[in-house]
A and B are shown apart, each in its own frame.
Chain A
């Protein structure tokens, strides 16, 4: 890292050109540049527009169901035998995950910009469903790009999107997964840029997306900062969240960045193990490079080709990571660790049985690390975990891992 350590109390990244230290930026072909400039301007205006903010707040309350509660997982904490584990219940949002915080925001922005058509990429289908949901809500045409491989694995979510009126386009290029869906959505956007708004689902992509998606999800952390003192008398000792692209993690981290006493811990997917090569831990095992419009840590081979990833959780199965996480890692403000498929599954089952909450497999990664960390801490210390989504969508995967077919 260059220069002095940042003054975290005054944290204000990205800079006007979208950089978080050496990361982020606008690494796109010239054909997309005007669209990104238009979006950057419109987004800046919307932040200053009280009418837009009022509308967003109203929809977050009445359509999404915010604020989401914080829940003290006493039995889980007792089993861990150390720090108290609190859960931010993003699983209780409409559509069952944090993703909708962002799609509501971007859809309202699309409407403000007069774009009648929205497009999205999706891996597991959660962001696709959240986008199809808001497109139905605001009466917009919706096209979702999804790798043909993923469409087979997530047939139920494909059907959900269709029920909501979206068309789902199978992507046959590359590895036929999330990264290829993102490429295809970008190609659509560049071709239909006048009438189309591209709703990116994570804190990656070219500026202003990493900032904008973070801002729309930052309601999560902002609520926590207000809720924690009432729940437990103080702020947590550490905040934990799973990291794929990193939107739920940035959502809960952002409000805590200036509070240096609060540790930030991102949990990546170690899949079958970091040493097997079958994982999705870009920050733990990747190298900085350029993909999807920004500079960040990437899983890549010695020739700079992007690698295919593996995680039991489709939502973490991405070879890059948001550039702000890359910066938080290098600067030391956040720490990034990883847990394996098996550890995440064990945490999934623990939360089901001890607390009556079926978590998403993504969120189970953060729970798993909390269960490792808690026993090393005192009983009066506090871990706050972002329970970013519910696990109903994962029945098929968990059943298969337990030898049960539906």
Chain B
């Protein structure tokens, strides 16, 4: 069983939702990336999404754009991201790591070369934001047999046909983008999220994570009641950029805040 599947299976028996933080590799600094990952686990992360910096992050809001720019200023590329995962794995064999990024850096390395190196580094899943299922034939073929899960997005505007399409190819978990907009935008409607998660579950057996626009414990608690995982990105990245020298401690503190709020929800439910 893959690390992602094992994690969700365990959480299901514990009747808890997964907490999935997102941080950009190389931000605030390349030296902090692995310590931040360990801090996130200490703070209560079940899965880590590690952003691969890209010069043109079209689907991201200002917080993650700037984070990507800072990482690129440090010269962080895909090879460095994979090296960080490998280093993290030397001390942590359980927590799944999902890379999240855009197609071009991966295509430049070459799909097959990337998959081989990602597997060796201990990557568990990859979400390529600008690879929808229709354009993913070569990508899925490259992943086949690697043990790395292709993670796909669904959104409030996804039709039944697209939910079906994504369900056929998604492994690990499906990432439901909870609002129209970019990462870090405000205000999500939990009832809409609940309705959509139901529609996705009707077609897919893989867990459904919800992200984009979850900035506080209360929202996370509400989402945790209706979904399998809660993804937190911009809020953590923002906290770390507010205090770059203290990023490791900040990352852990923010995660604890969300973890406590979400676990309180399970106690009620």
Residues of A in contact with B (beta carbons under 8 Å apart): 17, 25-31, 33-35, 37, 173-174, 179-180, 183, 186-187, 190-191, 193, 287-293, 298, 300, 302-306
Contact = CB atoms under 8 A, between A and B. Distances in A.
Contact of B132 (A30, A186, A287, A300): A30
Contacts, number: 124
A187 B58 contact: yes
B64 to A, nearest CB: 11
Shortest Cβ-Cβ A-B pairs, 5 listed: A304-B108, A303-B77, A304-B105, A34-B157, A30-B153
Contacts of A35: 157
A30 B108 contact: no
The residue in B79, B107, B108, B109 that gathers the most chain A C-beta atoms within 10 A of its C-beta is B108
Interface in B41-81: 54-59, 61-62, 65-66, 69, 72, 77-79
A208 B166 CA distance: 21
A29 B56 CA distance: 13
Contacts of A31: 59, 153, 155, 157, 177, 180-181
Contacts of A27: 103, 130-132, 135
The residue in B54, B56, B129 that gathers the most chain A C-beta atoms within 10 A of its C-beta is B56
A302 B56 CA distance: 15
Interface in B121-160: 129-132, 134-135, 152-155, 157-159
B249 interface: no
Nearest to A302: B108
7 contacts: A26-B134, A27-B135, A30-B155, A30-B177, A173-B69, A193-B180, A293-B130
A25 B153 contact: no
Contacts of A289: 103-104, 107-108
B162 interface: yes
A211 to B, nearest CB: 16
B169 interface: no
B102 interface: yes
B182 interface: yes
B104 A291 contact: yes
A298 B177 contact: no
B108 A287 contact: yes
A173 B60 CA distance: 11
Nearest to B101: A304
A289 B105 CA distance: 9
Contacts of A183: 56-58
A174 B69 contact: yes
Given A191-B182, A290-B104, A290-B130, A305 B54 contact: yes
A306 B104 contact: yes
Contact of A305 (B66, B77, B103, B134): B77
B55 A306 contact: yes
B49 to A, nearest CB: 15
B206 interface: no
B149 to A, nearest CB: 17
B70 to A, nearest CB: 12
Contacts of A26: 132, 134-135
B200 to A, nearest CB: 12
Interface of B: 54-59, 61-62, 65-66, 69, 72, 77-79, 102-109, 129-132, 134-135, 152-155, 157-159, 162, 166, 177, 180-182, 185
Given A29-B130, A173-B62, A186-B58, A290 B153 contact: no
A85 to B, nearest CB: 38
Nearest to B77: A303
Contact of A290 (B62, B102, B157, B166): B102
A30 B181 contact: no
A190 B129 CA distance: 14
Contacts of A174: 55-56, 65, 69
Contacts of A34: 155, 157-159, 162
A164 B177 CA distance: 37
A190 B131 CA distance: 16
Nearest to B75: A303
Contacts of B131: 27
The residue in A30, A34, A187 that gathers the most chain B C-beta atoms within 10 A of its C-beta is A30
B181 A190 contact: yes
A179 B65 CA distance: 14
A106 B204 CA distance: 38
Contacts of B109: 304
Contacts of B180: 31, 190-191, 193
Given A29-B58, A290-B104, 7 more contacts: A17-B134, A30-B162, A31-B177, A34-B157, A34-B158, A35-B157, A191-B182
B203 to A, nearest CB: 15
Given A30-B153, A30-B162, A290 B107 contact: yes
Contacts of A288: 107
A154 B58 CA distance: 24
B104 A300 contact: yes
Contacts of A17: 134
Given A31-B157, A174-B55, A290-B107, A191 B132 contact: no
B245 to A, nearest CB: 25
A27 B134 CA distance: 9
B230 to A, nearest CB: 19
A164 to B, nearest CB: 27
Contacts of B77: 302-305
